[in-house]
Amino acid sequence: MRILHFSKIKKIDEGIVVGIGKFDGVHLGHQKILGIVSAEAKKKGRVAGVITFRNFPVEFLLCRWEEKLSLIKRAGIELCIWSDFDEISQLSPERFLEILLEAGVKTIVVGYNFRFGKDRKGDIKFLKNKAKGQGFSLVIVPPYKKNGEIVSASNIRRLIKSGNVYKANKLLGRYFSVSGKVVRGKGIGKEIGFPTANLSLENNISIGEGVYAGWTLYNKNVYKSAIVIGHSPTFNDNTKKFEVFLIDFGKRKNLYNKQMLVFLYKKLRRQIKFKDKEQLKRHIEKDIKKIKSLLRQHI
């Protein structure tokens, strides 16, 4: 897949079928749009492309940029034209469309609620009117529903914030993942026999507090994991943390400054204040037993 900044667009003689959107999380609804782009391009002998943003105003992104590119490529896209939101948000809808047509765009594929251009003045009605006389076709993709619910990035974000990653995963079509570097913690986990890796997360991600089952990818190996998100009520520590205990990791190694990728499967329970370290230790043992049973499948 060719990756091109919006400012470097040049005319492509074969013509382009382009999907336009933020594609935040590349969820099932986005995958539907990308599938249409790929199929339409193959049918007409054109280049399958997307126009998307690397950064844009949102509470937190649902996937890392590299992951987003990988998912877009996997959907059969050959050309990714990207920009940061503030670089083109001031373009009028007319000018934005003019740039696309000059580049050889022949078909535009967008979601049912697509808006674009300065002050979001460009919309479906605008595109329909322009398509009539400017030599391009328009495909409007209706809302994608999963179990009767519209799949959207905002809905997935809400689920993640509330701790319902299990349902969020269903709407994403894969396991939600976060990446971060291991930083120094207080060593409490080590004291009670469950040394955890404390991660400093990328993208300012907000996940509901609690104990989760999941997997951790570290050094090309995948480990079942107990993931603790939030403060530590047992120790009156109000600092929100993201801690990972790698099950069956073997002899403890120095993990500081190492990069880890964590996949969240399901929330097991809320955070609990235990009376002492021994009670906490016994409960963690139960959590780990439950996680091992729950995660029979592997990524």
CB 175 within 8 A of CB 214: yes
Same domain, 106 and 194: no
Q: Residue 270's domain spans which residues? A: 175-294
**Hunting for tokens 């003045």 — which residue is that?**
121
CATH number, domain with residue 59: 3.40.50.620
- With vertex at residue 169, the alpha carbon angle to CA 83 and CA 200, rounded to the nearest 5 degrees, is 65
Kindly list the averaged pLDDT for each block of 10 residues, start to end, along the chain of length 299: 96 97 98 99 98 94 96 98 93 97 98 94 96 94 94 97 97 97 77 80 88 96 95 71 91 84 96 76 89 82
Same domain, 179 and 140: no
Same domain, 184 and 133: no
Q: What was the pLDDT predicted at 272?
A: 81
**Hunting for tokens 């939600």 — which residue is that?**
176
Query: In the structure encoding, which two tokens stand for residue 277, read together?
Result: 């370290």
What does the alpha-carbon distance between residue 213 and residue 269 come to, in Å, rounded to a whole number? 10
Q: What was the pLDDT predicted at 296?
A: 82
Report if residue 152 sits inside a domain: no
Q: What was the pLDDT predicted at 232?
A: 76
Helix, coil or strand: residue 292: helix
Helix, coil or strand: residue 84: coil
Q: What was the pLDDT predicted at 191?
A: 62
Report if residue 299 sits inside a domain: no
CATH number, domain with residue 260: 2.40.30.30
What does the alpha-carbon distance between residue 86 and residue 53 come to, in Å, rounded to a whole number? 9
Same domain, 129 and 232: no
What does the alpha-carbon distance between residue 92 and residue 94 come to, in Å, rounded to a whole number? 5
CB 35 within 8 A of CB 109: no
Q: What was the pLDDT predicted at 41?
A: 99
Q: Strand locations in 112-205, DSSP E?
A: 137-141, 145-146, 149-150, 176-183, 197-201
Q: What was the pLDDT predicted at 68?
A: 98
Strands 2-5 and 16-20: unpaired
Q: What was the pLDDT predicted at 252?
A: 67
Report if residue 245 sits inside a domain: yes
What does the alpha-carbon distance between residue 73 and residue 67 come to, in Å, rounded to a whole number? 10
Same domain, 195 and 134: no
Same domain, 124 and 248: no
Number of structural domains in the chain: 2
What does the alpha-carbon distance between residue 197 and residue 256 come to, in Å, rounded to a whole number? 8
pTM of the model: 0.92
What does the alpha-carbon distance between residue 249 and residue 242 come to, in Å, rounded to a whole number? 18
